[in-house]
């Protein structure tokens, strides 16, 4: 037997295998069940106003589709090479709105790959460990996020009084932008405070202050 014969038998002949229909059903059902599990974990974990049910449904479909792709690549060399070529030219341009969505996307895809490899125990353990980590990290207190205090005044003489109020009412503050038009002044100040309501009221009482706005965000760079 020549070297080419060995390569052909080990890599080509053995690569073309039939898939048992029972294995296909078990594979896809298991991927679907874990996908549904991810669906509920994501729904419970997501607390922002940007929750998308369509995105969550995608998390259920991804493991099933990925698992089917992996199964087909295992059974046929031609399909596997075709899949590599097809998937290499796919480009997804949808922006991920929340950083945590990346975790769930990779989790969903990984489950499909693992189920396609028939490593069902690993898929289950991975899902349970990730769920435990997400629940555990929720118990750790997070630092209070900064807010933006925007002040429009008819006089530039308000700064001293404003700084006195900020020293009393905030744990941290920093002037991010200062704009002067004649005798009018616009200030954008980054603050960190537990007394936001009283701070806004005190700032609005300063003489010559026209408008006071407070913008806060939830830590994911969306105001």
**CA gap 220, 124 in Å, rounded:** 30
> Which one-letter DSSP state was computed for residue 95?
P
Residue range 172-199: mean pLDDT, rounded? 84
Asked whether residue 34 is domain-assigned, the answer is yes
Other C-beta atoms within 10 Å of 164: how many? 12
Indicate which CATH number applies to the domain containing 208: 3.30.70.1710
pTM of the model: 0.64
Instruction: Supply the pLDDT for residue 110.
Output: 92
**If pLDDT is split at 50, 70 and 90, which confidence band does 203 have?**
confident
How far apart, in whole angstroms, are the C-alpha atoms of residue 55 and residue 53? 5
Predicted confidence band of residue 50 (pLDDT cuts 50, 70, 90): low
116 and 155, same structural domain?
Answer: no
Quick one: which of 212, 215, 223, 199 has its CA closest to 147?
A: 215
- 3-class state of residue 218 by DSSP: coil
The string of pLDDT tens digits covering residues 23-41 is 889 999 999 999 999 999 9
Q: Mean pLDDT across the chain, nearest whole number?
A: 79
pLDDT at residue 205 greater than cutoff 50: yes
Contacts of residues 10-15 at CB distance under 8 Å and 24 or more positions apart, as own/partner, are 11/77, 12/77, 15/76, 15/77, 15/80
Same domain, 94 and 128: yes
Domain hosting residue 77, numbered range: 3-138
**What's the burial of 18, exposed, middle or buried (CB within 10 Å: 0-12/13-18/19+)?**
exposed
Residues 133 and 179 in one domain: no
Same domain, 9 and 41: yes
Is residue 49 pLDDT above 80, yes or no?
no
Of 77, 108, 138, the one marking the end of a domain is 138
Q: What is the mean pLDDT of residues 153-157?
A: 84
Q: Which of 138, 155, 186 is the last residue of a domain?
A: 138
Note whether 133 and 173 are same-domain residues.
no
Structure-token pair, residue 57: 């449904």
Neighbours of 212 (CB within 10 A): 19
Bigger pLDDT: 93 or 63?
63
* pLDDT for residue 14 is more than 60: no
Q: Are strands 147-153 and 209-216 parallel, antiparallel or unpaired?
A: antiparallel
Q: What does residue 116 show for φ and ψ, rounded to 5 degrees?
A: -60, -30
Same domain (yes/no): 129, 175: no
Question: Residue 221: inside a domain, yes or no?
Answer: no
Q: CB within 8 A of 69, min separation 6: which ones?
A: 83, 112, 116
Which position has the token pair 């995608």?
58
For residue 157, give the DSSP letter.
G
Top-confidence range, 109-113, 135-139, 174-178, 187-191 = 109-113
Q: 72 — alpha (psi -120 to 50), left (phi > 0) or beta?
A: alpha
- The Cα 66–Cα 123 span in angstroms is 13
CB-based burial label for 207 (10 Å; 0-12, 13-18, 19+): exposed
On whether both 26 and 125 belong to a single domain, the answer is: yes
């Amino acid at each position: 037997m020549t070297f080419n014969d060995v390569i052909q038998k080990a890599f080509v002949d053995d690569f073309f295998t039939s898939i048992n229909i029972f294995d296909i059903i078990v594979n896809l059902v298991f991927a679907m069940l874990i996908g549904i599990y991810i669906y509920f974990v994501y729904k419970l974990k997501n607390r922002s106003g940007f929750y998308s049910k369509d995105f969550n449904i995608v998390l259920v479909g991804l493991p099933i589709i990925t698992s089917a792709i992996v199964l087909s690549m295992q059974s046929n060399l031609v399909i596997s090479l075709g899949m590599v070529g097809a998937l290499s030219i796919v480009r997804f341009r949808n922006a991920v709105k929340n950083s945590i969505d990346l975790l769930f996307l990779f989790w969903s895809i990984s489950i499909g790959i693992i189920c396609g490899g028939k490593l069902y125990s690993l898929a289950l353990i991975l899902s349970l460990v990730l769920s435990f980590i997400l629940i555990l990290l929720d118990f750790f207190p997070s630092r209070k996020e900064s807010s933006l205090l925007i002040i429009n005044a008819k006089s530039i003489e308000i700064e001293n009084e404003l700084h006195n109020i900020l020293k009393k009412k905030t744990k941290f503050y920093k002037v991010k932008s200062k704009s002067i038009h004649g005798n009018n002044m616009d200030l954008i100040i980054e603050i960190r405070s537990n007394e936001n309501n009283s701070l806004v009221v005190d700032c609005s009482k300063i003489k010559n202050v026209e408008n006071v706005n407070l913008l806060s965000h939830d830590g994911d760079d969306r105001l």
